Amino acid sequence: MVIPRKKKTGGVLLLCIASFFILSLLAFVTDIGFMYYQKARIQTAVNAAWKGGMDLAVELTNGPLSVDQKNKVCQRVREIIVQNGFPPDEVASKTRIEFFDYDRGFEVAASASFGLFFARLMGFDMASVYSERTNIITDAESGATFTPRLAIPLAIPHGVVKDLTPGTFSVSLFPEKQKPDSSQWIGFQPGEEYIIKLGSGVLALASQTVIVSSTSVASRAVRLSGALVEVPDKHKNCFGVVNLENTIGSGTKDYRNRMIFGFNKPLRVNFRIINEPENLAEQADQAVYQLTHDEKGKLLEIPNRKARVVVPITNIPSSVSSEAQNRDAKTLYELSGIDAPNGKYTPEAYNFKASSRITGFAEFEILPSEHFTRVGNNIQAGDNGDLGPYQKGQIRGKFLRYLAKPGEIAQD
């Protein structure tokens, strides 16, 4: 007699359960992967739209955008997103474009909806993704937001400048031949106040006494409590205003706006930049006020992210200092004459005879006169003592950091 065996169904059941689990997992992974793909698509579109909108904005104006200009920027943004394969109707309703910080800050945000595959079995038919792009930076410590700045139309020597009188200044230059990564680096000190544009006009400190020596090398002495401190005396031919377009006549027109919004074209180490001989004191004072006060005219507290600016650091190439009119000039303030390179920046493209050379870039926070700490007649050698009295059009800033140290890139 044969006893029939019982069928083993447990293995088949486990196989079915495992297969269902694997297929569900594959379906889940497929839908998740498709969502990541759509996220990458919208991010690419938003990045391209932000770049296109920003390029158009800086092309239209160096200052705040008009309503018509903003509409053109918004139209360009939406057109680029549509060109990346998104439906025009959805782009029109799901794209957000905002301007911040006197139109220096620009943000584009967009979302897109799409159908799912296997998630439909669980009742999820559609999903959406969101992406944004902005040049607004949030400070990690304080949570404050600010807009990174472009270079402003000022330049400085790599050294400590003292603004002595309406016509004279002194400078203590930092060593040129030093390694940028050296622990012995000598340069601007973070948090310290420096002059980044010379002024001219009536001295704020009437007690200053000037003595000029009879030697061939002029020197200046400033009286402080009966003490005399001699420092080098140099005549101001310029005040530190530069024309970053390198085209004669284009600098003064947009100077105030470029002080506030920055220069929107690339600048590089070893570029030559031409001077503006005028002080432009009124425009400078207006720009400082705009950067250091809110829209209601209230003085902003320090640190003030709004007042961060990038300033080119310069020296005088030997091809310029060997010219008779600029013989032995050490700083852009001493240069005589104006080059006319018509937008050219390199010595290969134009024979510069009266321009300074960019050697690096530094970031400063522009200071209002209420926050000056080195105003006075205690003039000392090097990075010590006061920086001289305040004069009209003078600009001072707190040094924050080097963006490119002099010497990091070889000079041509």
pLDDT at residue 72, rounded to an integer: 93
The stretches in the chain having pLDDT less than 50 are 139-140, 203-231
pLDDT at residue 342, rounded to an integer: 94
Cα separation, 10 vs 220, whole angstroms = 102
pLDDT digits 0-9 by tens, 265-305: 788 899 999 999 889 999 999 999 989 998 888 998 888 87
pLDDT digits 0-9 by tens, 219-275: 333 333 333 333 457 889 999 999 999 998 765 667 888 888 888 778 889 999 999
Comparing CA positions, the residue from 366, 340, 356, 342 lying closest to residue 406 is 356
Pairs from 27-31 (Cβ < 8 Å, separation ≥ 24): 27/117, 27/118, 27/119, 27/121, 28/118, 28/119, 30/117, 30/118, 31/116, 31/117, 31/118, 31/119, 31/127
Q: Distance of CA 268 to CAs 24, 140, 220, 343, 345, Å?
A: 56, 29, 36, 14, 9
What type of residue sits at position 377? N
What are the residue boundaries of the structural domains of the chain, listed by start?
21-140, 149-404
Asked whether the CA dihedral 370, 373, 378, 383 is positive or negative, the reply is: negative
Cα separation, 284 vs 280, whole angstroms = 6
Cα separation, 317 vs 356, whole angstroms = 7
Which backbone phi and psi does 24 adopt, to 5 degrees? -65, -40
Cα separation, 126 vs 135, whole angstroms = 31
Cα separation, 288 vs 299, whole angstroms = 11
Coil, helix or strand for 24? helix
CATH code assigned to 21-140: 3.10.450
How many C-beta atoms lie closer than 10 Å to residue 225's C-beta?
6
